[in-house]
Structure formats: C-alpha cells, structure tokens
Structure 1
Amino acid sequence: MSFTDDLDELETAEDFLRYFTVAFDQRVVNVNRLHILQRFHDYLAADTGLEGLDDEGTAARYRAHLERAYHDFVVSSAIAEKTFKVHKEEARKMADRFVPLDSLLGSPV
C-alpha cells in the first residue's frame, strides 16, 4: 500500500494521530478533534513544498503539520485560535462591540 492508500483508511483524529505517531492527550482531542483536523488541513494547504516529495518525505511533513495542529490546541482554545468561520465572525463581532472604559465613565468635569 502507498502513503495515499494509508491516508484513505484514516477516519478520526485519533487515527491520524496514531498513524503519524503523535503523542496526544485524549481529553484535548475530545474537545478539539474537528479543530485539530481543520488546522492540519490548513497547514497542509499552505505547504507549497509537498510536491515532488517521496512518500517518506511527504509523511514526515504531514506528521510535522499534524503535531503542530494538535499542539495549537494544547496551549490554546478553539475560540482563541479561530479555526472555523463561526469563530472568526464571533471575534469580529466582539471587536465591533468594544467600548472604551473612558466612554463609560464620562468626561472629567
């Protein structure tokens, strides 16, 4: 089987993490599985150096991207990372709702 065939068999975040031998805490995966996979996908999409690599080189790059994606959610949260469109929109709305403290206190007399 080729690397691509192996990838076709992977279904869950845990499958990917085990396949690429990335150590993980199940609690982190339980809360962030979709975010980890989306971030992994984003990192792969941004990697312009994958073409021309053999299976071993490609697998090493994939592993590095998956490990980085997983680690993003070990040290942060899905909302802070703004992985999905809904999180990006919520962050924008929060920024639009910002009210300076001075405006609440009024002008000094």
Structure 2
Amino acid sequence: MSDVTQTIEELDLDELESAEDFLTYFGIAFDPAVVHVNRLHILQRFHDYLAEVETLPEDAQAQFELHRDLLEGAYGDFVNSDARTEKVFRVFKQGQPVNVGLDSLLGQLHHAPSV
C-alpha cells in the first residue's frame, strides 16, 4: 500500500492506468470478473463521486481514506448491478432502445427478397 503521509495531490496517480491499478493502490479487494466488464464505468463513477466533493480534507490520511471510500463505493455500485442499470455514461441515459424487426428493414429495400 502507498505511503499515506503524502497528500493525494503529491501522489502520482497518473501512474495508475487501469481500474485494477486504482483498486489495488487503494487496497480494495475486488472480483476481477466484475472489473473486467465494468472497468470504465467504475472509473467514471469514481470521477463523478470525486467531483461531488466540495472540499478535500487537509489531512493526508483523511484524503486517502476519502478517495478509497469513494472508489470502493464506485466499485460496489457494479458488484450487484450493471452498466445499463447504473447509467454512468450518456449513452445509457438516453431514451429506451427501439427494436426494429428485420422484416421491417428488408421491406424498405427495393432489391431485397420479401420475407
């Protein structure tokens, strides 16, 4: 685990490249299968949670724990849920998907055989 005597600003979080790196860095146990399917959603949710924090604690330990708690919460959101339900990205926030039947599409093509 990292040296928490540094402030989060001093830590080189830019070195962390994946959701697994972040989870490991903050000492959060995780299921690789959950992370594999939801890695971008977890990181985006973590970012969203951080954006809601108005003031970071001055104490390095408190900063570390806040980041850890927010990341653990972001990961936890996807343990028993999925990206479609959580709607992290805009594409999932748009209207309900429209189902278009193949026969409808083929009927619009002049050269397609009828079904």
Q: Give me the TM-score of the superposition, normalised by structure 1.
A: 0.77
The aligned residue for residue 105 of structure 2 is none
Cα distance, 1:9 vs. partner? 1.5
* 2: CA distance, partners of 1:49 / 1:77: 30
> Which of 15, 23, 29 in structure 1 is aligned with 2:29?
23
Matches within 5 A, 1:1-109: 2=6, 3-4=8-9, 5-50=11-56, 52-89=57-94, 93-94=95-96
| AA partner of residue 17 (structure 2) | E
Question: What are structure 1's unaligned runs of at least 5 residues?
Answer: 96-109
* 1: CA distance, partners of 2:12 / 2:24: 12
* 2: CA distance, partners of 1:26 / 1:83: 20
* 1: CA distance, partners of 2:12 / 2:64: 10
Cα distance, 1:84 vs. partner? 0.1
Aligned residues: 93
SS of residue paired to 1:80: helix
* 1: CA distance, partners of 2:77 / 2:71: 10
What percent identity do the matched residue pairs reach? Answer: 55
Q: Give me the TM-score of the superposition, normalised by structure 2.
A: 0.73
* 1: CA distance, partners of 2:69 / 2:87: 21
More helix, by proportion: 1
* 2: CA distance, partners of 1:7 / 1:22: 16
Could you give the per-residue CA deviations for residues 10-61 of structure 1, whole angstroms, max 9, x where no partner exists? 11101100000011000000000000000000000001131x4222211110
